[in-house]
Structure 1
Amino acid sequence: MSRSPAAASRGRLARGSLSPETILDAAERVAADGIDALTIRAVAAELGASTMALYRHFPTKDVLVDALLDRVLARFAPPAGTDDWLHDLTGCAVAHRDLLVRHPWAVVPLISHPTPGLGAVRVGEVVLAALDRGGVRGDAAVAAFSGIIALNYGWSAFATSKDAARFGDGTSAGLGDLLAALPAEQFPHTVRVASAMAGYGSDAHYTWVLGQLLTGLASRAALQP
């Protein structure tokens, strides 16, 4: 990756002038082009610094990536709590997904770098607190939390991969027409929902699936002694 115009205009930084936050700022700019673009060398070029200057703060790329992902998760901003635990749980799930939507480059590495930093722990703490208020605790709480997180990561990874093939209204480009043209005698159910498939992976579908998941969770919680 070539240095950005801003980096080129700054020139090489003075020795000892780098801080972890400065490096992470640059790493995030580099990662915006895709996580594969993120290397120590690319970040050093963005800063106009030597790679050795970065290694003093982040000895390996994995350490840098973990710090960057923790920084992203630290931006998790759930809505203010209410007296309705299910409403709050929904708000937490949506806020987490919104965070992933704003940082599409982070979705895959968050899945492949599961070691939690404090940012990840805080997400879990807020979600588990809402579940606790609904009487969902222990193994059930861990399973519910895992399900919500898995839904968000899976949905976000899928949606990110489809972004390039979407129209401005968020529908999948040509998918409905493609499926409608299939032989109905072989794929009757697919052809029947071909028009709805234009919204495959849409925000509306996410909202529906999340609602079903949490409604089922609430029903099960209501049966607990």
Structure 2
Amino acid sequence: MGSSPMALYRCFATKDDLVDALLDRILGRLAAPEPSEDWAADLAGFARAHRMLLALHPWAIVPLFTHPNPGLNATRIGELALEILSRGGITGGDAVADFCGILALNYGWSAFASARSAATRIDQNPGVAIGAAIAALPAGRFPRTRAVADQMSAYGSDEHYERALRQLVAGLRDSADVTDGTR
């Protein structure tokens, strides 16, 4: 950029301040879905948008764990999720726990996807490698695992994410229905 590396310290006192600013900027790019009448569908849309953000910036996954509140945009994301959950009747500690569950799903899934992507770039197909390793396990000791060896090539796929997200949102919807007395 035509300047010395130390020039950054005129704007940021520490490396952590710089990382927080970068994370805040990335989190500010979350494309929040427009609210609809279906809070559960909106929550799934929020989760997908958040996961997409992580997929576009895989370097940010680990720093987001070590910089848990990198700026106002992190708070904005939390506010959005809490607002969606409140429309479903989920508030307080339950909403916080459910928001944490979505974040855990997304960070975990994104870490797997990022690792798979990195392995693919170095001419490995992790799905095929995992399937082959599972198929080589002793059949008597691991019969169920061996039975899904060929399906393991899709481990961490978008299809698997959608299933996990559907199950999570369905559970939250059921929990909200019980809480608000509609069941």
Matched with 1:63 is 17
Q: 2:156 aligns to what? A: 201
Q: What stretches of structure 1 of length at least 5 have no aligned partner?
A: 1-46
Aligned residues: 178
- Per the alignment, residue 9 of structure 1 pairs with none
Are the equivalent residues in 2 in contact too, given 1:89–1:130 (CA < 8 A)?
yes
Listed as ranges, the matches of 1:72-221 within 5 Å are 72-166=26-120, 172-221=127-176
Displacement after TM superposition at 1:74 (Å) = 0.2
Q: Aligned letter for 1:214?
A: V
What do the CA deviations read for 1:113-157 (whole angstroms, capped 9, x no partner)?
A: 112411111111111111000000001000000100111011111
Highest RCO, 1 vs 2 (Cα 8 Å, sep ≥ 6): 2
SS for the counterpart of 1:115 is coil
8 Å CA contact 2:21, 2:70 repeated in 1:
no
Which stretches of structure 1, 4 residues or longer, exceed 6 Å deviation after superposition?
Answer: none
1:81: Cα distance to partner?
1.1
Q: How does 1:24-39 map to 2 (within 5 A)?
A: none
Q: SS at 1:76's partner residue?
A: coil
Gaps of 5+ in 2: none
Please give the alpha-carbon distance, in whole angstroms, between the structure 1 residues aligned to 2:22 and 2:11.
Answer: 13
TM-superposed CA distance for 1:171, in Å, is: 6.8
Q: Distance in 2 between matches of 1:204 and 1:140?
A: 28
State the identity %.
Answer: 55
TM-score, normalised on structure 2? 0.91
8 A contact 1:88–1:130 mirrored in 2: yes
Structure 1 or 2: larger helix share?
Answer: 2
CA RMSD for the aligned pairs? 1.7
Contact 1:159 1:201 in 2 (8 A): yes
Structure of larger gyration radius: 1
